[in-house]
């Protein structure tokens, strides 16, 4: 891919990669804490919130790169798009994760 001709797409790819890389690091950090038996309630909520939003951003960019064709059932992106949106609702919605994080942060601030 030529950087000159597809600069806009390359920015989206860079954002997708940055989101994926950051999401991986957050997952590994929390997994290490859980493996070590360290309490990780706040970090688990941060992970669920951050990863679900990162997946949503990544798939949204994938849809944008593919444009109209990505919306058709000829490509799997439209199905992933729907599943990615569910990640922000199921097993504790974004708002519930924010509630849990805020509760832990406020507890720490008061102690």
Ligand X SMILES: Cc1cc2nc3c(=O)[nH]c(=O)nc-3n(C[C@H](O)[C@H](O)[C@H](O)COP(=O)(O)OP(=O)(O)OC[C@H]3O[C@@H](n4cnc5c(N)ncnc54)[C@H](O)[C@@H]3O)c2cc1C
Q: CB nearer to ligand X: give 80 or 92.
A: 92
- SS3 call for 108: helix
Q: CB nearer to ligand X: give 71 or 99.
A: 99
Beta strands in the chain (DSSP E): none
Q: CB nearer to ligand X: give 32 or 95.
A: 95
CA distance 21 to 16: 9
Q: How far is the CB of 101 from ligand X (least distance, A)?
A: 12
- For ligand X, the binding residues in 86-105 under the rule CB under 6 A are 86, 89-93, 95-96, 99
Q: How far is the CB of 89 from ligand X (least distance, A)?
A: 5
Which candidate, 90, 83, 94, 30, places its Cα nearest to that of 59? 83
Do the beta carbons of residue 56 and residue 84 sit within 8 Å? Answer: yes
- For ligand X, the binding residues in 15-54 under the rule CB under 6 A are none
Q: CB nearer to ligand X: give 7 or 98.
A: 98
- What residues contact 14, with CB distance under 8 A and at least 6 apart? none
Residue numbers of the site for ligand X (CB under 6 A)?
A: 86, 89-93, 95-96, 99
């Amino acid at each position: 891919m030529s950087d000159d001709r597809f600069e806009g797409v390359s920015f989206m790819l860079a954002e997708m990669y940055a989101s994926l890389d950051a999401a991986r690091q957050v997952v590994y950090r929390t997994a290490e804490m859980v493996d070590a038996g360290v309490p990780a309630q706040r970090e688990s909520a941060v992970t669920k919130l951050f990863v679900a939003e990162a997946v949503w951003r990544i798939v949204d960019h994938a849809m944008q790169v593919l444009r109209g064709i990505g919306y058709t059932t000829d490509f799997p992106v439209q199905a992933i798009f729907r599943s990615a949106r569910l990640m922000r609702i199921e097993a504790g919605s974004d708002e519930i994760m924010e509630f849990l994080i805020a509760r832990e942060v406020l507890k720490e601030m008061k102690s």
